[in-house]
Homo-oligomer: A and B are copies of this chain.
Amino acid sequence: MRRKRGVRPGTSPGIERHLEAAPPAGAPPAVVRCIDYGRARCDVADVGDLAGFLHRPRPAGSRVRWIDVQDPNVWTIQQLREIYPIHTLAAEDVLTVPQRPKIEAYDQHLFVVTHMLRLQDDHVADEQVSFVLFPDTLITFQERGGDLWDPVRARLAADSSPMREHSAGYLLYALLDSIVDGFFPILEHQGDRLEEVEARILERPSTRDLHALHEMRRELIVLRRVVWPLRQAVDELLRAEHPEIDARTRTYLRDVSDHAVQVMDLVEVAREIVGSQTDLYMSSVSNRMNEVMKVLTIMASLFIPVTFLAGVYGMNFAHMPELAWVWSYPAFWAICAAVTVLLLLHFRAKGWIGGAEGRAPRP
């Protein structure tokens, strides 16, 4: 529930107000990488001087330009806006995290926001990614460095890659596809953990398992919150006839939507299993309590009557005829044994011992 760069209620909408402040001195500049590619070539450039780079002409034979900005700040976006007319509300959404995954069509470009989830040290890392799609240019903004797109870059760089023959819309598809396919390893990891937890709960449950279930439930909430609107966004992309998305790309986007539905399905299944395991845990705690209580009750019930009897014959009344009798002491032990045996039989009939917890009490 983080909201990194808060918006003060009541201030004017759009990116302009953020520009009033001067760039902080020590802030690291955004990392910008630009890939220009066409059927015959693929040029990768790490851009230091963004303004200069953008004003230089694109290489000959470049069909699509992909500008990838990591950790964007308002001044980088403003430099991009000098060439690319990114809408001020879209620019603001890039900077404000977290956004709900969505697609918005502006007059001059498509704007897509989503989240990229990755496993990092057994935890789910969540990063907002924004796409601005112009007819022959795709600008991507990543909240942080590190992404799932290296295979896509490798495909672009490979000799005679079929991907280089597609439009910028296909590049958008390929990146979205990577993001959605990236949810599956997370779910597989969760599936493994769920099986471990289930095995432990069935054998020897501990609060650690409950905390693990609680943790997983939270992760599933995050996943669902990302995947559901993402799928809606992709479906909207399929429904509306955006000129940036050609028919062939649309067939592939259907695949992305399909995968998103699969993820949703798996998330729902996992949620149900987490719920069922929580119930299992709770009932196992109840059973253990039952077990503890039974031990206490059996111990106390066996010894309380005979302890009383021992107390009786420890009394110092002057006139207690039994005290003098010779067979009193053996009789005492015999009574104790009889009481114990009777009580044990009673408890066995109740199913508390012997047949153990498998039997119901006879009311």
Contacts and interface: CB of A to CB of B under 8 A. Distances in A.
Contact of A149 (B10, B278, B329): B10
A185 B184 CA distance: 32
Interface in A248-301: 251-252, 254-255, 258, 261-262, 265-266, 269-270, 272-273, 276-297, 299-301
Nearest to A155: B12
A342 interface: no
A182 interface: yes
Q: Mostly helix, strand, loop or mixed at chain A's interface? A: helix
Given A288-B290, A297-B295, A332 B308 contact: no
Interface stretch (A24-32, A62-70, A131-139, A206-214): A206-214
Of A9, A277, A307, chain B has the most CB atoms within 10 Å of the CB of: A9
Contacts of A48: none
A100 B282 CA distance: 32
B315 A310 contact: yes
A323 B155 CA distance: 93
A56 interface: no
Interface stretch (A35-43, A76-84, A349-357): A349-357
| Copies held by the complex | 5
Contact-residue bracket for chain A: 35 or more
A196 B286 CA distance: 23
A239 interface: no
A285 B290 contact: yes
A221 to B, nearest CB: 5
A52 interface: no
Nearest to A319: B326
A270 to B, nearest CB: 7
A276 B214 CA distance: 7
B265 A361 contact: no
B282 A283 contact: yes
B283 A210 contact: yes
Interface in A313-332: 313-320, 322-326, 328-329, 332
Given A13-B255, A276-B217, A296 B295 contact: no
A296 B297 CA distance: 5
A122 interface: no
B285 A283 contact: yes
Contact of A289 (B152, B289, B304, B329): B289
Given A225-B265, A314-B310, A329-B319, A151 B10 contact: yes
B211 A202 contact: yes
B320 A329 contact: yes
A89 B250 CA distance: 13
B299 A1 contact: no
Given A210-B283, A283-B210, A204 B351 contact: yes
A162 B13 CA distance: 11
Pairs of residues from A and B, 3 with the lowest C-beta to C-beta distance, nearest first: A10-B151, A310-B311, A204-B360
10 contacts: A8-B151, A10-B148, A214-B280, A282-B283, A292-B361, A299-B300, A304-B304, A307-B311, A311-B314, A313-B317
Given A9-B148, A12-B174, 18 more contacts: A9-B185, A10-B151, A13-B177, A204-B351, A206-B358, A206-B359, A282-B283, A283-B285, A286-B286, A289-B293, A290-B292, A291-B350, A292-B293, A299-B304, A303-B308, A315-B316, A319-B326, A358-B363
